[in-house]
Amino acid sequence: MSLGDQIARNLPYLRRYARALTGSQATGDAFVRATLEAALADESLKASLEGGRVPLYRAFNKVWASAYMDVSEPDSGESHEGAAHDRLKSITPLNRQALLLTTLEDFSVEQAADIMEMEPEEIERLVQEAVGEIDKESATSVLIIEDEPLISLQLEDLVTSLGHEVCGTAATRTQAQEVVADKTPGLVLADIQLADGSSGLDAVDDILAISSVPVIFITAYPERLLTGDRPEPTYLVTKPFQEQTVRAAISQALFFGSSRPLG
């Protein structure tokens, strides 16, 4: 497989990581572009990318680390973008990087240590600190849009174990509308393909037309959202999922307080 093909295969997931790290599709994509431009300008860096995902993420993290302190203003005038920027200044970026790499991106502690150029013990400490920050998040009400009963129950248990309230569950777009008509959630966990053939994307659009709330998509079909053809969700978890991955995504979504997919 050519280097270009390797990068293309991993690029959607690097963009997902960049969006979750920065809280913005536009900012995340800008850092990904800067990483690729750096690789084109540096033959040794370009050659290192032959190693697959780990060196690609390591190259990205170097660009992010070198430029992070220079990011002084949010990309957009929208309030949630400004709020995300304010919160970024109040939390240690390394904690968030370690947590996202080992949960959302499913790297081992050793791989994350390679990416961040630290010792594995240091990564474990950063992850524990990040988990501590998650536990400080204020409780909210959560709507679960999922047509598989077992998965819906798993998500209910996870959400309540984190101190949040489940305001309702829905297996179809219509059921989601009924829940929201009674109570507006503070967070939505949504599948894409629902029981009656309706779309979780449409269900989420219905909700966002009423209220601005963070949304996390949990789906077995991430390629339907990672196309680059439309604004992509900031928070996307692939099935089958690990509980710590969903936990990290919930923390990130509540941390940024974002509503629509950020662009």
SS3 per residue for the chain: CCHHHHHHHHHHHHHHHHHHHHCCHHHHHHHHHHHHHHHHHCHHHHHHHHHCHHHHHHHHHHHHHHHHHHCCCCCCCCHHHHHHHHHHHCCCHHHHHHHHHHCCCCCCHHHHHHHHCCCHHHHHHHHHHHHHHHHCCCCCEEEEECCCHHHHHHHHHHHHHCCCEEEEEECCHHHHHHHHHHCCCCEEEECCECCCCCEHHHHHHHHHHHCCCCEEEEECCHHHCCCCCCCCCCCEEECCCCHHHHHHHHHHHHHHCCCCCCC
**The residue type at 11:** L
* Degrees to nearest 5, angle at CA 177 with 172 and 182: 130
Q: Identify the pLDDT of residue 81.
A: 47
Provide the pLDDT confidence category of residue 15 given band limits of 50, 70 and 90.
very high
Q: Per residue in 98-136, is it b (16+ CB within 10 Å) or e — as a string?
A: bbbbbbbbebebebbbbbbebeeeebeebbebbbeebee
Provide the pLDDT confidence category of residue 74 given band limits of 50, 70 and 90.
very low
> Which position has the higher pLDDT, 216 or 233?
216
Provide the pLDDT confidence category of residue 260 given band limits of 50, 70 and 90.
very low
Contact assessment for residue 94 and residue 125, using Cβ atoms and an 8 Å cutoff: no
Q: Identify the pLDDT of residue 253.
A: 81
- Lowest average pLDDT, out of 2-11, 128-137, 172-181, 209-218, goes to 128-137
As given in the structure block, the two tokens for residue 44 are 């040794």
Beta partners for residue 190, in sequence order: 145, 217
Q: Which of 59-63, 101-105, 258-262 has the highest mean pLDDT?
A: 59-63
Provide mean pLDDT across the span 91-116: 88
